[in-house]
Amino acid sequence: YHAGFYLGQEKEIVYEKIRKQTEIITESLKKNGNKIWVRPETTGKATQWGDLEEIVKLSKEFEQVLPCVDFSHLHARYNGIVNTYDEFSAIFEKIGKELGQVALDNFHAHIAGIDYSAKGEKKHLNLEESDFNYKDLLKAFKAFNVKGAIVCESPNIEEDAKLLKEYYLSL
């Protein structure tokens, strides 16, 4: 889920508001016996709460919270950065170091092509129609032995999901 926007507020104030609501959500889940992961998602615009640091920090505070890393959103949020094997590897290293192996063994990611501007995400695209480097991302997934779920959010989900699967299996 996308947790919120800054709306001109200090990042720390928005973080605290989101932390308090996450506490309400996780306590309600526990009270009702629901054992599911709550997954705040990285966002594609700098005006939205949800950079990688914020998501990891929130995940460290709650047992039932782990990141949803939308790699395309990060690529758009930083205007084309986060698009190399080393940058993808740094994300896996950070998550593994700060959240532990459980976060890499139960990973949740979103992948799509993406159109962006200086303000961040504009719209999702098919992978082959964008500059998103899904091949290096999948190589990093393989190198770090990441397990979990990948959701393809391209306009042509079936074709791009097949593309991702076939490339991953070819590695």
> Over the stretch 101-110, which tens digit does the pLDDT of each residue have?
999 999 999 9
Predicted confidence at residue 33, as pLDDT, reads: 96
With contact defined as beta carbons under 8 Å apart, do 98 and 140 qualify?
Answer: no
Joined together, the tokens standing for residue 42 give: 């990285």
Joined together, the tokens standing for residue 41 give: 């998602």
Predicted confidence at residue 89, as pLDDT, reads: 98
The DSSP letter of residue 127 is G
pTM: 0.96
Report, as an integer, the average pLDDT of 8-19. Answer: 97
Could you tell me which of 99, 110, 93, 31 has the C-alpha nearest to residue 65? 99
Each residue's pLDDT tens digit, 34-88: 999 999 999 999 999 999 999 999 999 999 999 999 999 999 999 999 999 999 9
Report, as an integer, the average pLDDT of 17-40. Answer: 97
